[in-house]
Structure 1
Amino acid sequence: MKKLTIMILLAGVVVSCRKLDQPITSEFTETAYWRNAQDALDALTACYEHLAKDDYFFGDEALSDNAYVSGDGMLAVTRIANGSYDASNARDRDTWGYYFTTVRRCNIVVENIDRVPAMDAALKKRIVAEARFIRAYAYFQLTAWYGDVPFTTKVLSIDESRTISRTDKNTIQQFVLQELTAIQPDLPLNTQIAEKDRGRVSRGAAIALSARVHLFRSEWAAVVTDCEKLIGKTDNGAYQLFAGYSSQFTVANEYNPEVILDLQYGGGRTYDKQRQFLPQTVAALRSVLVPTQDLVDDYVMLNGKGIREAGSGYNENNPYTGRDPRFEATILHHGSKIVDFSGVEQTILTQPGSVPATNTVDDQGASPTGYYFYKYYDRTATVYQSGLNLILIRYADVLLMYAEAKMELGQLTAGVWDQTVRALRARAGFTDGAALTFDGGWSQSEQRTIIRRERRAELAFEGQRIFDIRRWKIADQVLSRPVRGIKVTSGSFNKDPQGYIIVENRVFVNPKHYQWPVPTFERDQNKNLSQNQDW
């Protein structure tokens, strides 16, 4: 323990005059480190590098009923989704280790920054606030997945790490909320962040994450309080919906005013996940991360009605016409058109028997559901390596959190609706008054269905669905049924009675699967770690 090794993959933030996108590795002895402000900034960059990663961002979608990953890709998330995992699962092990590394890196910054001589006081406060935010984010992730976890705000020795026990998740989440409140005065507004510092945590990010934690805990009044600090106000930052729904997920429109927090990529830090969710004829690789029929079915019609509601106008023989515009912006289906990396427009054919068959459910390398994701397709990628930032929190989610909290409190009014759902639908391209107008005759149950469906459509392929179905306690319902693909009339497919392809059957046991098991490897190292129920 004589050396402090800090991996600095310059991806999280722009620090000083250095480019963020060039990874370097520096090793310092304890006596030679913390010499100046740049050392502190570099240590903070190591925290940002461990904020999150693309494996989680994309893989989380397949943990829910929105998507499916064929095989053991993306850290074997399918085994979790279908209930066939144990405490040695790759994603389970990886998440535990990843976020405790994040915590350690942040603790290093907070514990050692006072060693920097004659450091500017305001800069010191900001660095500490950013590290505390990232640590809070990591602890929220850990408690969301595992429940009770080890908790520390200091750098542990090896011996201490092998004896620490688990702390109640509620205690840790209360700490997270207190941290997010305490650091706000030391964080800049998004409007105060210089171009060279884009990607750093803002005050708005701390408020929005606080709202998300309260949402996860069903603390509705606190969600309202947090969201009202950001909606229609500028004293905590200036946020608004970006004009185009689909265009906000492009390199050209990074750092638009809807983005509250994003995972930084570019230059030396890239990802190739789009090769796994685009059609084979576009990405030249097997399509393994794919949408489900259940997600497709939840997109409403242009009149705002669900496809099974009377008067919706849904035509099962022409299922993709007249749907929520966000459907076409998110998912490719039979007949969709896409411009590939060489600039050629392709028509995507997924039905069996289509020619060519490359993207159809007939081909073993194609999507087994007959659908492909389109959101986050980055045509500027070089050799399929994308540098497009991945948005972790955006203003649309703040509006949806606010609408849900007001609904649960029995306070969803036409005014709140117009601020939130109407605004989101209008931005998406809805024009029918029936879809845009609040109906005072809706019951709370009907309002809940609308708001939850709206969250699913707006935030699809952004990794939020799994957290939603867990906090709503419906995961045991929606993940205990088959993964379905397109409806087919030919071919030797496993199908349900309506003719929809059954890709696999899933099982979600309540309460067991609402918390992941503490990884076996960790319990082998630390005998004081207890295990979750039924594991």
Structure 2
Amino acid sequence: MNIFIKNSIKVTVFLWIAFLSSCNKFDSYLDKAESGGMSEEEVFGNYRQTERFLAQVYGSGLKIDWVGGGLWSFSYDGATDNGYSAYRYWPSPKFVYDGTLTPANNPIDQWADSYAALRRVNMFLEKIDQLPVSNQEEETGKVRMKGEAYFLRAWFYAELFKRYGAVPLIDRVLQVSDDLNIPRASASDIISFISEDCDRAAALLPDVYTTKDIGRATKGAALALKSRMLLYFASALHNSANDLSRWEKAATAAQEVMKLGVYNLHQSFKDVLHNRTSSETIFQYTANYEDQLRNNLMPSQGGFAIVTPSQELVDAFEMQDGHSISESSMYDPERPYDNRDPRFKMTIIHNELTWRGVPIETFEGGLDGINGNGDNYTRTGYYLAKTLDENGSITPIWRPGSHFFVFIRYAEILLNYAEAKNEALPAPDQSVYQAIDAVRARVGMPALPAGLSKDQMRTRIRNERRVELAFESHRFWDIRRWKIGEQVMKEVHGMKITKSGNAYNYQRFKVENRFYKNTYDLFPIPQSEMNRNHALVQNPEYN
């Protein structure tokens, strides 16, 4: 039977259920084949066609989290206490914290897209063992592709779990005769499934690839994803009883990545997101996301400045002596940006910082000042440096630079280990210090002081994650899994800077009030999906 006909039947059926309502994207891929409509036998009976099918799963399923689901006006960090977006065009980050997030209003929902991707992966896994091969290279590739598919299935379920918690668990292609009212599995079952698929993938995948295959999942990527999701499962959002064995499993999973001996911290923190071959990169979206430069560069250099850092994030960066701004004798409120953690100037463009040889003016009346007209101008007194390649430019010559979104990098694994191990123990041991101090040492920050309690270490680890991983979308999910949203999402501040002669006056001010309730720790299941699948139960307080 022609695959177009078969899948058209499936699409009609799947429109009645929550998780497969956008599977027509898969059909369009096959419809565009040179034959004008390829059968399943043709697709999965030819090595090159099967390889192309898997590439489509990567290309259509993986989302760049600098923006929400590819929506240019949304920034994950802009929806946290790390940042602010002056844009109020749909979908501005504002909907996440203004009380309007509902089952019928979630512009960054990924339910349907994720299940459409899972359907494609399940089909691939059902067919791959029958794929004929003609030489050793194809035999090796067949094994590798199966491992990649297990990884991708784990990845898509991980993305669902981050957003919705427990979801329906489907490990095969559904048929017309199946009962399509499928309830949510338990959170434990989802995490077990993800972990098992990660282990299956790790057993089949190589440690590294040659340059032509960069971007494919590796053994390290599978183990790193397992580390991340076990950490999430151990966190307060999913572990209200604080089962310490979950933390220990998360620490062990991170340690598996560390023991591979494949990954190291990139020498330059500034360049780690602009390099396709860094030893720190574990899993990466290898297409150059050129729009990142235009989206977030300051207006004086041709950018839109969609998201700008908050004063809360600025204050989170320690002084060079390792103390906070409230504790360090090095902090001078009249020169608040001097003597800071080196990552500060690599993350945040502040008043008088030079970018491409030009001092940036964020003071009132300055070229990029806080009182500038239009949505492009900062409201916080800052612009974004991280994620932007300083070698790129918009004016007078368009030169996009290199912008590769890194899904997982080694610094996260070290911080995953430090957090999980600290929570598993009565007090931090030397391995916790070693992991977090390695991240700090990369930029010349001093080691943490000895003798920290478990609570003190937790505070340091959480702050380290915040500054190290800022604007890589982690803060959005960390706030939720730690259940601290109601604590940190009350207000966001900026710095009002006025100039008198050659002197500046700095005054912290409130940019806006925010609203957050614990309900938002999980996304609502889309109402349209609830209407189709009557076995689904909505997340709490969204009814």
- TM category (shorter chain) comes to 0.7 to 0.9
After superposition, residues 22-421 of structure 1 pair within 5 angstroms as 28-49=38-59, 50-54=61-65, 55-56=67-68, 59-72=75-88, 75-93=91-109, 95-118=110-133, 120-157=138-175, 163-190=181-208, 193-218=209-234, 219-231=246-258, 233=259, 236-250=260-274, 253-266=275-288, 270-282=289-301, 284-309=302-327, 311-339=328-356, 345-354=357-366, 356=367, 358-364=368-374, 365-378=376-389, 379-380=391-392, 383=398, 388-408=403-423, 409-410=425-426, 412-414=428-430, 416-417=432-433, 419-421=434-436
- The residue identity in structure 1 corresponding to 2:493 is R
Query: Which deviations, in whole Å up to 9, do the C-alpha atoms of 1:219-245 show, x marking residues without a partner?
Result: 2211221222232x4xx3511111111
- The residue identity in structure 1 corresponding to 2:515 is V
Q: What is the alpha-carbon distance in structure 1 between the residues aligned to residue 393 and residue 173 of structure 2? A: 39
Change in 2 beyond 3 A, CA 1:26/1:147 = farther
Q: 1:476 aligns with which of 483, 486, 493?
A: 486
Query: Which deviations, in whole Å up to 9, do the C-alpha atoms of 1:131-158 show, x marking residues without a partner?
Result: 1111111111111111222221112347
Q: What is the alpha-carbon distance in structure 1 between the residues aligned to residue 211 and residue 35 of structure 2? A: 25
- The residue identity in structure 2 corresponding to 1:313 is M
- 1:8 Cα deviation after fit: 6.3
Query: Which deviations, in whole Å up to 9, do the C-alpha atoms of 1:369-417 show, x marking residues without a partner?
Result: 1111111213347847565221111111111111112222235234542
Q: What is the alpha-carbon distance in structure 2 between the residues aligned to residue 183 and residue 135 of structure 1? A: 10
**Does the 8 Å contact 1:517/1:532 carry over to 2?**
yes
Instruction: Name the counterpart of 2:21.
Output: none
Question: Is residue 458 from structure 1 mapped to residue 495 from structure 2 by the alignment?
Answer: no
Q: What is the alpha-carbon distance in structure 2 between the residues aligned to residue 7 and residue 156 of structure 1? A: 19
**Does the 8 Å contact 2:68/2:108 carry over to 1?**
no
**Does the 8 Å contact 2:363/2:498 carry over to 1?**
no
Q: What is the alpha-carbon distance in structure 1 between the residues aligned to residue 46 and residue 28 of structure 2? A: 18
- The residue identity in structure 2 corresponding to 1:429 is G
Q: What is the alpha-carbon distance in structure 1 between the residues aligned to residue 404 and residue 182 of structure 2? A: 36
**Does the 8 Å contact 1:204/1:237 carry over to 2?**
no
Q: What is the alpha-carbon distance in structure 1 between the residues aligned to residue 383 and residue 35 of structure 2? A: 37
Q: 2:513 aligns with which of 493, 505, 512?
A: 505
- 1:29 Cα deviation after fit: 3.3
Q: What is the alpha-carbon distance in structure 1 between the residues aligned to residue 421 and residue 140 of structure 2? A: 37
Q: What is the alpha-carbon distance in structure 2 between the residues aligned to residue 320 and residue 467 of structure 1? A: 28
Query: Which deviations, in whole Å up to 9, do the C-alpha atoms of 1:44-67 show, x marking residues without a partner?
Result: 111111122252387222232112
Q: What is the alpha-carbon distance in structure 1 between the residues aligned to residue 180 and residue 400 of structure 2? A: 39
What fraction of aligned residue pairs are identical, expressed as a percent? Answer: 32
- 1:426 Cα deviation after fit: 2.0
SS at 2:333's partner residue?
Answer: coil
Instruction: Name the counterpart of 2:532.
Output: 525
Q: List runs of 5+ in structure 1 lacking aligned partners.
A: 10-22, 340-344, 491-497
Change in 2 beyond 3 A, CA 1:238/1:178 = same
- The residue identity in structure 2 corresponding to 1:425 is R
After superposition, residues 433-448 of structure 1 pair within 5 angstroms as 435-440=446-451, 442-448=452-458
SS at 2:68's partner residue?
Answer: helix
- 1:304 Cα deviation after fit: 0.6
Change in 2 beyond 3 A, CA 1:360/1:517 = same
Change in 2 beyond 3 A, CA 1:384/1:152 = farther
- The residue identity in structure 2 corresponding to 1:279 is M
**Does the 8 Å contact 2:370/2:381 carry over to 1?**
yes
**Does the 8 Å contact 2:418/2:435 carry over to 1?**
yes
- The residue identity in structure 1 corresponding to 2:75 is G
SS at 1:228's partner residue?
Answer: helix
- 1:123 Cα deviation after fit: 2.6
**Does the 8 Å contact 2:293/2:303 carry over to 1?**
no
SS at 1:180's partner residue?
Answer: helix
**Does the 8 Å contact 2:103/2:526 carry over to 1?**
yes
**Does the 8 Å contact 2:312/2:493 carry over to 1?**
yes
Q: What is the alpha-carbon distance in structure 1 between the residues aligned to residue 97 and residue 139 of structure 2? A: 47
Change in 2 beyond 3 A, CA 1:167/1:230 = closer
Q: CA RMSD in A?
A: 2.8
Q: What is the alpha-carbon distance in structure 1 between the residues aligned to residue 265 and residue 351 of structure 2? A: 30
- 1:36 Cα deviation after fit: 1.3
- 1:504 Cα deviation after fit: 2.2
Instruction: Name the counterpart of 1:17.
Output: none
SS at 2:325's partner residue?
Answer: coil
Q: What is the alpha-carbon distance in structure 2 between the residues aligned to residue 60 and residue 488 of structure 1? A: 27
- The residue identity in structure 1 corresponding to 2:114 is Y
Q: What is the alpha-carbon distance in structure 2 between the residues aligned to residue 227 and residue 529 of structure 1? A: 33
Change in 2 beyond 3 A, CA 1:62/1:157 = farther
Instruction: Name the counterpart of 1:423.
Output: 438
Q: What is the alpha-carbon distance in structure 1 between the residues aligned to residue 179 and residue 88 of structure 2? A: 30
Change in 2 beyond 3 A, CA 1:128/1:245 = same
Q: What is the alpha-carbon distance in structure 2 between the residues aligned to residue 288 and residue 25 of structure 1? A: 43
- Count of paired positions: 487
Instruction: Name the counterpart of 1:14.
Output: none
Change in 2 beyond 3 A, CA 1:26/1:254 = farther
Change in 2 beyond 3 A, CA 1:487/1:171 = same
Query: Which deviations, in whole Å up to 9, do the C-alpha atoms of 1:471-519 show, x marking residues without a partner?
Result: 211122111x1121114569xxxxxxx9533222211112x11111111
Q: What is the alpha-carbon distance in structure 2 between the residues aligned to residue 427 and residue 92 of structure 1? A: 34
- The residue identity in structure 2 corresponding to 1:199 is G
- 1:204 Cα deviation after fit: 0.8
Instruction: Name the counterpart of 1:494.
Output: none
**Does the 8 Å contact 1:3/1:30 carry over to 2?**
no
The answer to which of 469-478 and 402-411 deviates more is: 402-411
- 1:206 Cα deviation after fit: 1.0
Q: List runs of 5+ in structure 2 lacking aligned partners.
A: 8-25, 235-245, 500-505
**Does the 8 Å contact 1:407/1:448 carry over to 2?**
yes
SS at 1:392's partner residue?
Answer: strand
- 1:524 Cα deviation after fit: 3.4
Q: What is the alpha-carbon distance in structure 2 between the residues aligned to residue 280 and residue 456 of structure 1? A: 26
**Does the 8 Å contact 1:238/1:257 carry over to 2?**
yes
**Does the 8 Å contact 1:66/1:291 carry over to 2?**
yes
Q: TM-score, normalised by structure 2?
A: 0.83
SS at 2:355's partner residue?
Answer: strand
Change in 2 beyond 3 A, CA 1:128/1:254 = same
Query: Which deviations, in whole Å up to 9, do the C-alpha atoms of 1:152-175 show, x marking residues without a partner?
Result: 111234785953332223211221
Q: What is the alpha-carbon distance in structure 1 between the residues aligned to residue 220 and residue 141 of structure 2? A: 18
